[in-house]
Amino acid sequence: AQSVTQLDSQVPVFEEAPVELRCNYSSSVSVYLFWYVQYPNQGLQLLLKYLSGSTLVKGINGFEAEFNKSQTSFHLRKPSVHISDTAEYFCAVSDAHQGGSEKLVFGKGTKLTVNP
Amino acid sequence: DAGVTQSPTHLIKTRGQQVTLRCSPKSGHDTVSWYQQALGQGPQFIFQYYEEEERQRGNFPDRFSGHQFPNYSSELNVNALLLGDSALYLCASEYEWGVSSYNEQFFGPGTRLTVL
């Protein structure tokens, strides 16, 4: 069974500071990895995904993440955050072997608060 | 192009009642998944429908059932509601390109269910 651990439930940062949201996963098979963002009272929006190839993945809104297979991690980073980045961020994993439509297994989320 | 839509937006029920939530997939999508997001938690996979049949199911009791219609829209039914069923219910849709392809899931805004 797959699982995802988001190591920080809350991360407060100041505007224009860098941020890293940490994610570790557990799986016995090859995986796809995802980061989603959820703004208050909204659904989930895909920030970026790792399917294969380059371990450094760039997404929307200036976010990037690095897949580290040996450490089973997929940390999300942004060099300079804005007030508008305040939201909840979810790391998710799915089974890559099955292909097609696979369920997503989510972490519990990290609430990022950007202060002026 | 409308994305994934869900109705109603909010719903209040009492224990023991039954509820039906509805989802219309993004245009061109044929697969619908349902997730439950309890307060302060990440989404948990309930089940997935493809070609009007339940294809995968998460660890949820039989009180949770669903249906997919010929136009690919879907319903989630929950019987004998419990206080613990209070959550945001998210619907996600995708197009089934094939078992060897990655299919991106697009999420709706969710239905907030409160059980009193």
- Supply the pLDDT for residue A98: 59
From chain A, the residues in CB contact with B4 under 8 A are 43
Give the pLDDT mean for B4-32. Answer: 96
Q: Above 80 in pLDDT, residue B55?
A: yes
d(CA B47, CA B63): 12
Task: Look at A106 and B102 and tell me if their CB atoms are within 8 Å.
Answer: no
Nearest-10 Cα torsion for B40, A102, A19, A109: 10
The predicted model gives A14-39 an average pLDDT of: 94
**Separation between Cα atoms, residue B68 and residue B9, nearest integer Å:** 20
What percent of chain A has a predicted confidence (pLDDT) above 90? 78
Mean pLDDT of A91-107: 80
Q: Note the pLDDT of residue B12.
A: 98
Which residues from chain A sit within 8 angstroms of residue B56, using beta carbons? 101, 103
pLDDT for B6: 97
